[in-house]
Structure 1
């Protein structure tokens, strides 16, 4: 997925001549010509969200420890617009030297799928995953739906399927609902778009929709109050805040949905620099301060992973989302 920057012939010959001259000066000249270790300047982290949003907070929580790990200043560069398109284009305009990378979400991947930026998924090089915020299928407290089997049965019996609250057509929530319903035997469904997660929760409590996919933190207070019932976790492991709620996977439905954030650069950054960034980011987020942030949001410690697992997850999001959007006729 990544390319190594290769110097052109003139630059290579120039450096060779310089090295030859250094040898002639003797061994004491060596340290004066040695390259500085990476990073030796400010690291710029590009986000697509405004101050106070989940992406901004995640980025700043990482930076609390990362400044010490990298022994460099780090700044947030906000490039809002186009659901991540503006951030991608800005990073694409910067030198691919490792000093500029970005915080990405599913939205950035959607921009690539929908060809809203002149980049391909191969151009995106994951460094470290920061959050893997699991979701749960929730229903109103007075719903007759209590289990995964009930979800499937009610969907099959209701004309047009259950009404699901979501943010907007073609978004990550919509794709998550579509993939779940497909893997649950192709059950029918209908979506009802809302402005945001808070509006979905309100509509669900009021019984204006039958079900929704919520991050645990979005519905935590309603779960505790008994206003909403968590039925099925769409996560790889059970959610710690609701350990009695089984996952879809352990019941034979291989469906997953989560809100994901992580750090990435564009291919062309030297591989050794990407490795330094990946290792430093993982070390920073394994610190107790960042881990406490994950725990406070109901997110598992396993959220934090390095290059290999993060790039595999990016690929899975890309493939599943592209397939879903094609099936929905949105691309």
Structure 2
């Protein structure tokens, strides 16, 4: 039964909702009301940094010429960028640009900022991961697989630091395949690649785009691609799914904001980034740097679900050793 008190409470609640929705609508209409800051959770010159700097002029134009600055915060696997975003104002003027390292470092306990403190706006890139070798040592994946099966514990695979996308790609492959292999961390993709070429390790797990020059020179070759279907550029290279392994992770690059940012503003930003993603200028960039092997776009809610699923997987894999 509705009493006067109940009706009064309900009316007050509706009024507060209306005020909140009105405030959010005003924030969208007034956005941006001050300069925007891109906090890049990586160093200058890398994939995340290039992504942010390519997007910057496009976003400046899309939001009416607002001034945007880019700040690189690579410390602690980018955790400083996430902390500053989470501790800043929830008004959409601080945008956190991050890669898959965000969730891998979270799973490893290296990053204190979880998905209760950051909200994904959108994913715009998914750089395909692959297993690379010196083709003079392993001409194809079958030869690598045969050697690994016949020599348990002797195969070494390198990649960037522990709990990196390279590392969790290795762990995922080892977990799915059952192969007895070991991981060796390096401080850069270049060092891992040099050790493959020098015969110190058998292979490296990393994304395709950083090794394109080595592939073109015939020095390195992908022998297994983490994908559902074979890529047009590499029609002869088998995929993980072909071998029955549900393993298609890539190195994602995405945009986050403070978790308390009004939903209407988050949706507005998602729409702006989706328009940027679909633009001829952005698609030309993606094609130029070989980030068009598969669809990069993913909306905020869908990407949040992906991050939550990956967090559970990576936590289990990292707990089970190197």
1:47 aligns with 2:22: no
Residue 131 of structure 1: CA displacement? Answer: 1.5
In the alignment, is the contact (CA less than 8 A) between 1:165 and 1:211 conserved in 2?
yes
Q: Deviations over 1:126-175 (max 9, x none)?
A: 1111211112211212224513x443332121141411112223332121
Partner of 1:122: 116
2:144 to 140, 146, 151: 151
RMSD: 2.5
Structure 1 residues 111 and 251: alpha-carbon distance in aligned structure 2, compared to 1, 3 A threshold: closer
Q: Could you tell me whether the CA contact under 8 Å between 2:152 and 2:181 is conserved in 1?
A: no
Query: 2:56 pairs with 34, 48, 63, which one?
Result: 63
Pick one of 213, 226, 242 that aligns with 1:221: 213
Unaligned runs of 5+ in 2: 1-11
TM-score w.r.t. length of structure 1: 0.82
Mapping of residues 20-169 of structure 1, within 5 Å? 37-41=29-33, 42-71=35-64, 72-144=66-138, 146-147=140-141, 149-169=142-162
Change (3 A) 1:101 1:319: same
Which secondary structure does the structure 2 equivalent of 1:208 belong to? coil
Q: CA deviation at 1:190?
A: 1.2
CA distance in 2, matches of 1:81, 1:205: 29
**Alpha carbons of structure 1 residues 50 and 218: separation in structure 2 relative to 1, 3 Å:** closer
Equivalent residue of 2:70, what SS? strand
The question of 1:322 aligning with 2:315 is answered: yes
8 A contact 2:129–2:169 mirrored in 1: no
Offset, 1:116: 4.2
Q: Secondary structure at the match of 1:302?
A: coil
Secondary structure at the residue paired with 1:166?
Answer: strand
Kindly indicate whether the alpha-carbon contact (under 8 Å) linking 2:106 and 2:113 is maintained by their aligned counterparts in 1.
yes
2:203 aligned partner: 211
1:259 to 223, 241, 251: 251
Higher mean C-alpha deviation, range 81-90 or range 253-262: 253-262
Q: 1:76 and 1:219 mapped to 2: Cα distance?
A: 26
**Unmatched 5+ residue regions in structure 1?**
1-8, 20-33
SS of 1:303 mapped into structure 2? coil
1:35–1:100: structure 2 CA closer, same or farther, 3 Å change rule?
closer
CA contact (8 A) 1:128 1:307 kept: yes
Question: 1:184-239, CA deviations, whole angstroms, 9 ceiling, x for partnerless residues?
Answer: 1x110012222211122222122221111132222223222322232111134433
Structure 1 residues 216 and 80, CA gap change in structure 2 (3 angstroms): closer
Shift of residue 310, structure 1, vs aligned partner: 2.0
Contact 1:79 1:87 in 2 (8 A): yes
Deviates more, 1:120-129 or 1:84-93: 120-129
Cα deviation per residue 1:273-326 (whole Å; 9 max; x = unaligned)? 000011101111221221122112211261122223322322233122111111
